[in-house]
Amino acid sequence: MNNFTFHTPTQYIFGRDAEMKAGEMSAKLLGKNILVVIGGGSVVRSGLLDRVFASLDAAGVAHSLLKGVKPNPTDRLVYEGIDIARRENITGILAVGGGSVIDTAKAVALGALYDGDFWDFYCGNAKPENALPVGTILTIPAAGSEGSGNSVITREADLRKLGVRTDSILRPLFSLMNPELTFTLPPEQTAAGIADMMAHIFERYMSPTANVELTDRISEGILKAIIEEAPKVMANPEDYDARANIMWSGTLAHNGVCGTGRVEDWACHGMEHELSALYDVTHGAGLAVLIPAWLAYMAQHAPAKPAQLARRVFNISEPDDTQAALLGMTALRNFFHSLSLPVTMAELGIENPDIPELVRRVLINKGEKFGGYYIIDADIAIQIYRLAL
103 is a site residue for Zn ion (CB under 5 A): no
Which residue from 55, 57, 65, 60 is spatially nearest to 22, judged by alpha carbons?
55
Which one-letter amino acid corresponds to residue 183?
F
283 is a site residue for ligand NZQ (CB under 6 A): yes
Cα–Cα distance for residue pair 340/332, rounded to 1 Å: 13
Q: What x/- string results for residues 25 through 54 when contact with ligand NZQ is judged by CB under 6 A?
A: --------------xxxxx-----------
135 is a site residue for ligand NZQ (CB under 6 A): no
* Among 180-188, 208-216, 316-324, 338-346, the segment contacting ligand NZQ (CB under 6 A): 180-188
Cβ neighbours of 263 (radius 10 Å): 15
Burial group, residue 31, by CB count within 10 angstroms (0-12, 13-18, 19+) = middle
Cα–Cα distance for residue pair 309/179, rounded to 1 Å: 29
Q: What x/- string results for residues 197 through 216 when contact with Zn ion is judged by CB under 5 A?
A: --------------------
Which residue pairs from 128-131 have beta carbons closer than 8 angstroms and sit at least 24 positions apart in sequence? 128/164, 128/166, 128/169, 128/170, 129/169, 130/169, 131/106, 131/169, 131/170
Q: DSSP of 291-351, one letter per residue?
A: HHHHHHHHHHH--HHHHHHHHHHS----SSHHHHHHHHHHHHHHHHHHTT---SHHHHT-S
Q: Which of 13, 132, 137, 185 binds ligand NZQ (CB under 6 A)?
A: 185
In the bound state with Zn ion, the residue whose beta carbon lies nearer, of 21 and 283, is: 283
* Among 72-80, 191-199, 221-229, 299-307, the segment contacting Zn ion (CB under 5 A): 191-199
**Which of ligand NZQ, Zn ion, none lies near 204, with the C-beta cut-off 5 to 8 A by kind?**
none
196 is a site residue for Zn ion (CB under 5 A): yes
Cα–Cα distance for residue pair 74/95, rounded to 1 Å: 16
In the bound state with Zn ion, the residue whose beta carbon lies nearer, of 247 and 326, is: 247
Cβ neighbours of 319 (radius 10 Å): 9
* Among 51-59, 91-99, 112-120, 219-227, the segment contacting ligand NZQ (CB under 6 A): 91-99
256 is a site residue for ligand NZQ (CB under 6 A): no
Instruction: List residues near ligand NZQ by CB under 6 A.
Output: 39-43, 71-73, 97-101, 103, 139-140, 142-145, 148, 150-152, 181-182, 184-185, 189, 193, 196, 254, 269, 283-284
Residues that bind Zn ion (CB under 5 A): 196
